[in-house]
Amino acid sequence: MHPYSERRARLIERMGSGVAVIATAPEHLRNRDTHYGYRHDSYFYYLTGFSEPEAVLVLIAGDAPRAILFCREKNEEREIWDGWRHGPDAAREQFGFDEAHCYAELDAKLAELIANQPRLHYVIGEDAAWDSRMMSALNAVRAQSRAGKFAPSELLDIRQPLDDMRLIKDTHELAFMRRAAEISARAHRRAMQATRPGAFEYEIEAELLYEFRRSGSEAPAYGSIVAGGANACVLHYVSNNALLRDGDLLLIDAGCELGGYASDVTRAWPVNGRYSAAQRDLYQLVLASQDAAFAAVRPGARFIDYHDAAVRVLAQGFIDLKMLEGSADSVIEQGTYKRFYMHRTGHWLGMDVHDAGEYRPRPGSAGAGEQDWRTLEAGMVLTVEPGCYVRPADDVPEAFWNIGIRIEDDVVVTADGCDIYTSATPKTIAEVEAVMREARG
């Protein structure tokens, strides 16, 4: 069975009864009559593999399950302007749907499809226009009550079961994610080789984009962060327009998307090709904290455990480097380490760079409690990304001022630990300096 058909069957089984309606993303105008580059909705694509706009999936659970696609009709004139369309017939055959209809028929058929169903599942509250459309369909059914038809009495958000499904990646997904990670590793290496004092951040960003596209990636998975010097202390810096100066570090957080799946990689390297003593001290600290986090990623561990492992190493390092005072326990208990490290050590990764899935069990579920975190399982994919960001302050050694470091890799949880998909990205001080030295001849 095709992976998309298999996922639809699993979701229908989890639904038990009722009908689910899942739309892809709309197109958005960029200016006047031109659109932003189109990107499908992740939930819709996860279940269909269908990447055209103006498409809706309807799943009917129960004794006679069905998967129905609504998509754009074949239109030779529009294909001259906008490109090839599958049309309902080809889409049904290629993607394994039980039925396929023209998108223009959706509103007329929705009332028929949801009538006499006990539950209606859809993405509730994300788009006001879509909420209104679903309410119109419900009201159309209610208007036929004298004919013996009834509307669903329960509205359920389809994201909850889909989030749980998306947390565990299948072999089809992992193959795309491994390839995306390999492309991003090459892009970071290329960026290292191109970095020079006097270049602009956007010039280095261009090297990333070139490698992404030449290797078959559709686009960056998110806005690339290319941050030299003090800009690296801005966690979501995206201006990418500053001059790179001799003696500064350059932090790059960038990953490509391939087949709808994201990669997410961060490295920090010296603009002049050689880490200073202070940069080495902080970089080695962040690297050690990442190693501790890797060791804590394994089945049965809690999601928070690898963050706690990284924080323990960072806290002690900040004390050793005279950036903080006290014991590691007190620095962690009081949260003073957050002055230099203020984010979590990772997140789920998949179709979305911050992927679907909850980090704590839902209240009322088995084992749920205020302090409980989700247990890691084989097939989950996450990032491991400790960091250190030092802004100028009188009580901090001046040599550390304006140094921002984050080291981020993508890992899949395996039966006995984790597999680092982005391991080909140069990371140790020796590796990074060697890549940059070779590029300079």
**Which residues are marked as active site?**
33, 236, 253, 264, 343, 347, 354, 385, 389, 406, 408
Distance, CA of 49 to CA of 55 (rounded, Å): 12
Instruction: Enumerate the β-bridge partners of residue 57.
Output: 22, 69
Distance, CA of 382 to CA of 261 (rounded, Å): 13
Ordered alpha helix ranges (H), 270-337: 277-295, 305-320, 328-334
Q: For the chain, report the end-to-end CA distance as a whole number of angstroms.
A: 52
Distance, CA of 424 to CA of 388 (rounded, Å): 23
Distance, CA of 424 to CA of 211 (rounded, Å): 15
352 closest CA partner among 434, 230, 263: 263
Q: Token match 């203020």: residue? A: 342
Distance, CA of 341 to CA of 389 (rounded, Å): 6
Contact 255, 263 (CB under 8 A): yes
Distance, CA of 182 to CA of 268 (rounded, Å): 18
Q: Two tokens at 67?
A: 């998967």
Q: What is the dihedral of CA 313, 316, 320, 323, to 10 degrees?
A: 100
Contact 165, 10 (CB under 8 A): yes
Characterise 148 by phi-psi region: left (phi > 0), alpha (psi -120 to 50), beta (else). left
Residue 207 CA from chain centroid, whole number: 22
Output the CA–CA distances (angstroms, integers) from residue 67 to 115, 164, 215, 435, in the order listed.
Answer: 16, 20, 34, 51
Characterise 367 by phi-psi region: left (phi > 0), alpha (psi -120 to 50), beta (else). left
Estimate the crossing angle of helix 171-194 against helix 429-439, to 10 degrees.
60
- Tell me the three state secondary structure of residue 268: strand
Distance, CA of 252 to CA of 234 (rounded, Å): 12
Q: Token match 């690297």: residue? A: 287
**In this structure, how many other beta carbons lie within 10 angstroms of the beta carbon of residue 212?**
27
Amino acid at 54: E
